[in-house]
Amino acid sequence: MEPRADIIAELYRRIREAGYLVALTGAGVSTLSGIRDFRGKNGLYNDMDAEKIFSMEYFMQDPSFYYKHAGSFIYNINEKKASVVHLVLGQLEKQGLLKALITQNIDLLHQKGGSKNVIEIHGSPRMHYCLRCAGVRMGFDEAAALVRAGDMPKCPKCGRVLKPAITFFGESLPTDALRQATTEAQKADLMLVLGTSLTVYPAASMPDYTLRNGGELIIVNNMPTPLDSSAVMRFEELDGVFEGLWRAMGAGEEM
């Protein structure tokens, strides 16, 4: 359900008047594009072992498990369209309002939506690499074509299955991305927290950096978060809120 027009107008006013606007997005943003989240009502945890899919230990034992199960929601991403949330965030950046976008997502949909300054704190499948041979790299399109054909990307030197540059359980987050995200969160005087329940750390600590430096939060998520009481505005329905924003921005005819 879309909030009242006056509430959307207030939200848009806060966005326009922010001195340094930053967004933090989680899996809930991508559900609007038909990608399942992890812990929601229809999340991956309900019918498959998501932790096993993204386990570094298990990948070392059997990389085919990852490619078999991740194929449906990572390597068919070209079939997915950017949602209204992705598009609005892309427009806000284009207009100079959104300074940085921190995402927990690994689906590349923010780039599809037009965002350029995307900080992927959980890594990205844009690149695949060999765990043994230095310098061996394969891009997403080539790897995705192999996975869709029922194969796996392999190292041309040693034959080992390549790993995506996604942060698996048991790995550290990419240092540069985490440092950049922390810096942007500290600089923000307004952070949009979108589609995340703020339960996975250190990503969930980003809004705390904003709050500690005197910034404000606007939270849009269909489940409660630990910081709901600290938000200046709180919504549940991402699609309704961002469809309203899209119209308020005068961009509806481009959607």
- Residues designated catalytic: 122
* Pair of tokens at residue 110: 């923010």
Please give the helix or strand (H or E) that residue 24 lies within, else none.
strand 21-25
Confirm if 195 and 24 have CB atoms less than 8 A apart. no
**Nearest 5°: phi and psi at 142?**
-65, -45
Tell me the C-alpha distance between 141 and 126, whole Å. Answer: 8
Find the largest Cα–Cα distance for the chain.
Answer: 61
96 Ramachandran zone, left/alpha/beta (phi>0; psi -120 to 50): left
| Identity of the residue numbered 255 | M
